[in-house]
Structure 1
Amino acid sequence: MKMLLTVDIPHEPFNSLVRSGQAGAILERIMDGIRPEAAYFTEQDGHRCGLFVVEVAKPSDVPALAEPFFLSFNADCKFRIVMTPADLQQAGLADIGKRWG
């Protein structure tokens, strides 16, 4: 299933990695490893943040996606299930509405 992986990257050690010229290479290695469907970088709550759409087939896939960020940047990772419009169309909202509405 598709998951949105939100990575909150604290200022340290990332600032030090930027100053030493290592941040880009580490991020590239992580991207090669997790192979996100989409990747965006932004600010969130005053910190650097990465947003990645990843495929998670089974719960045991999660550590391989999160640990590179934990170990490289002391980052916080959050996972959310996401759907495409086609996925939502298959949810049976009309039937759910009849049952629970």
Structure 2
Amino acid sequence: MRVMLSARMDTQVANKAIKNGAMEKLMQSLAAQLKPEAAYFFAREGERCSLFVFDMQDSSQLPGIVEPLFEELGARIEIQPVMNVEELRKGLAAAR
């Protein structure tokens, strides 16, 4: 299932992670693990954020994905299923 993971990082924790190199390592590791179709990094309401869109095969993958974000970056996580345009068309056709 295609999902979107959004992580909002605690500023103080993320500052330390940037200085000691943990942020770069974690983001590289996460990208390698998820193989996202899209990954973005941005600021929202004064906090560092990341967004990954990827295929999650099983919900049991979730702890392995989010725990490093919680532990190393003090992140607040949101994850939700999402669709691309083709999937939306298919879903709307089935809803008729």
Q: TM-score, normalising length from structure 1?
A: 0.81
**Residue of structure 1 equivalent to 2:6:** 6
**Residue of structure 2 equivalent to 1:76:** 76
Residue segments in structure 2 that go unaligned for 5+ positions in a row:
none
**Residue of structure 1 equivalent to 2:23:** 23
d(CA) in 1 for partners of 2:81, 2:33: 20
Over 3 Å off, 4+ runs = none
Kindly report the root-mean-square deviation, in angstroms, between the aligned alpha carbons of the 2 structures. 1.7
d(CA) in 2 for partners of 1:71, 1:33: 17
CA deviation string 1:33-72 (max 9, x = no partner): 2322210001112100001002112221211221121121
d(CA) in 2 for partners of 1:19, 1:36: 26
CA deviation string 1:63-101 (max 9, x = no partner): 122112112111111011110111011113561xxxxxx
Query: Contact (CA 8 Å) 2:2, 2:55: kept in 1 or not?
Result: yes
Aligned length: 95
**Residue of structure 2 equivalent to 1:98:** none
Of the structure 1 ranges 46-55 and 62-71, higher mean CA displacement relative to structure 2 is found in: 62-71
Residue segments in structure 1 that go unaligned for 5+ positions in a row:
96-101
| Secondary structure of the corresponding residue to residue 57 of structure 1 | coil
Query: Contact (CA 8 Å) 1:30, 1:68: kept in 2 or not?
Result: no
Identity %: 27
CA deviation string 1:6-55 (max 9, x = no partner): 00011121111222344322322232223222100011121000010021
Q: Is 1:45 equivalent to 2:45 in the alignment? A: yes
